Amino acid sequence: MIARLWHGRVPTAKANAYRGFLNTRAVPDYRSVAGNISVHILERREGDVTHFATLTFWESMAAIRSFAGDDVEVAKYYPEDQAFLLEFEPTVVHYEVVSGAGSDQR
């Protein structure tokens, strides 16, 4: 399993609207791709700036290519991001998942 992590920053005044955009447009897009296991949106407010991280889990790099294109390291953006993001980070980070525990395991 592969974890893909993207980070972006928005003005805190736009954070609620951006969260709404992510949940209505981006999350369904991720989920529509065969091989996507899950999508998690993380949010951290830091004064006038709110950080968002999208953490997705994938069955394979081939599945990520279906979503992101041949250069899987390049961040994928939507046209709507122009209205929110303070900058466009050019790349994402991938991690091989080597261990984990679900919420049902104690």
pLDDT digits (tens, 9 = 90+) for 88-99: 999 999 999 998
Residue 58 · residue 6 · CB < 8 Å:
no
Residue 46 to residues 3, 54, 69, 70, 90, Cα–Cα distance (Å): 25, 17, 32, 34, 22
Q: What is the pTM of this model?
A: 0.89
pLDDT digits (tens, 9 = 90+) for 26-79: 999 999 999 999 999 999 999 999 999 999 999 999 999 999 999 999 999 999
Q: Report the topology of domain 2-96.
A: Alpha-Beta Plaits (3.30.70)
